[in-house]
Amino acid sequence: MLEETSLAYQPHRIDIMADESHDPGLLALNPNSKIPAIYDPNGPSGTPLTLFESGAILLYLSGKTGQFISADPIHPLRNDPVGDVAPILLRYKAA
């Protein structure tokens, strides 16, 4: 998705067979030691942001670039492209 949105990025290879998923650098980004994870130094309001979990990353990048998702703030929740983020967000809002 980073290619499709034309956002600049620097990939880092993680060799899970060499147990690099427990590297301190990755753990700093994702304490669950899973990939993918991203670090955006230009996050919301210029604040750096770390994200992990594919669905959260896709929704964040869509919102950041205004691509692949409706500008209507509730539309992505009704039509969650990854199928697992909307129920969590809706439960959180209802609580």
**What are the residue ranges spanned by the domains of the chain?**
2-70
pLDDT tens digit sequence for 13-70? 889 899 888 889 888 888 888 888 899 999 888 899 888 888 888 888 888 888 887 6
Give the whole-angstrom CA distance, residue 46 versus residue 1: 21
For 2-70, CATH number out of 3.40.30.10, 1.10.3720.10, 3.20.20.120, 3.40.50.150 equals 3.40.30.10
Query: Hey, CA dihedral for 52, 89, 87, 4, is it positive or negative?
Result: negative
Which residues partner with 49 through β-bridges? 40
To the question of pTM greater than 0.75 for the whole model, the response is no
State the angle between helix axes of 54-65 and 85-94 in degrees (0 to 180), rounded to the nearest 10: 80
